[in-house]
Structure 1
């Protein structure tokens, strides 16, 4: 990918007359190249981190007696990894036959479309992850003991699967909160990791647009 990016800029993504001063033209070429390279590198590293993290989580969960939860989480993460790989490939395959400003605009458009697709997936991921964690907690020995203690301390006639009705009510409310704010939670997580680079991309595009001759 580095070679293809370098080739793009050597071939002159921005014509000499597109910006006001040739030196400024060259400066923005290099800034554009570095920023795109950095973002793509960060995306690639993130994919590897998800894979490694999922495998480590599976090992840890198996060691603490919750292998099925580890497998369940790996299954949830598998589509995310495949989606991330496909989205990254799309960024590599963006058309090179355009100016650097047009390329950055295309990259930015791909980025926003990609974020939208991820947000849709996370609307399902976070609730399912929550359900898995709660199910494991309730099914564990510790969870069973806690439920028995709650029933003894706060008895109720509404009991299902040895779990008090008020616990089911709390679990349901929290699930609804997770469902409602899952997309917002994803975007918060995204901004914490990539927010600074996204801002640089927006500012670079804005500056290059301002420098284009009318």
Structure 2
């Protein structure tokens, strides 16, 4: 396939117009749309899966008498759902138009930007969200009573320690889950970009 694409490219490519050969442009446009559509579908399914997770978490916590904590968790997961939905909408706004190469570059950069922002969000937001959840869960129990009896310095040390652990867990779990779910698709996206760059390089070098 790559060999045939390169042959067609060399026959129809015009040096002054990158990726303007109709056949090559159409081939890469179709290939690009397929890869991007697969990423979009996977992302939507991933985000929609948050809804049953929120309902299950609420049901379990309400069953054990922690309905308030259940509502808190539902609010957090709902916020994440709508944040993801907004992010996906922004990705949808990227139009392939006529330049497939620039479209793929823009899409890749957007994904990298989203990954970086989400990493920071989880690194900072997860401890802020989870520590109050622990407080709600253990409020009125012997665990909380014993905690309040500790010296202030020890209490601060425990909270800081929990914050760091949650920060690391949040970032690592996000990176791992992203790699497991999207690594192959992102590699295909990167491969398509590299193929197009190589063909442009070879064409201009002739």
TM-score where L is the length of structure 2: 0.73
Alignment partners' CA distance in 1, 2:27 and 2:19: 11
Alignment partners' CA distance in 2, 1:206 and 1:116: 22
Alignment partners' CA distance in 2, 1:35 and 1:94: 14
Worse-matched range after superposition: 59-68 or 175-184: 175-184
Preserved contact between residue 54 and residue 78 of structure 2 (Cα < 8 Å)? no
How far is the alpha carbon of 1:138 from its aligned partner? 2.8
Partner residue, 2:7:
none
Worse-matched range after superposition: 115-124 or 198-207: 115-124
Preserved contact between residue 19 and residue 99 of structure 2 (Cα < 8 Å)? no
Indicate the SS of the match to 2:124.
helix
Preserved contact between residue 126 and residue 170 of structure 2 (Cα < 8 Å)? yes
Alignment partners' CA distance in 1, 2:144 and 2:114: 43
TM-score where L is the length of structure 1: 0.71
Residue correspondences, number: 186
User: Is there any run of 5+ residues in structure 1 with no aligned partner, and where?
Assistant: 1-15, 149-158
Partner residue, 2:83:
83
CA RMSD of aligned residues (A): 3.1
How far is the alpha carbon of 1:51 from its aligned partner? 1.9
Change (3 A) 1:98 1:113: farther
Matches within 5 A, 1:27-106: 27-106=27-106
Alignment partners' CA distance in 1, 2:161 and 2:121: 21
Among candidates 174, 180, 199, match of residue 192 of structure 1 = 180
How far is the alpha carbon of 1:171 from its aligned partner? 4.5
1:131 maps onto 2:131 in alignment: yes
Change (3 A) 1:192 1:76: same
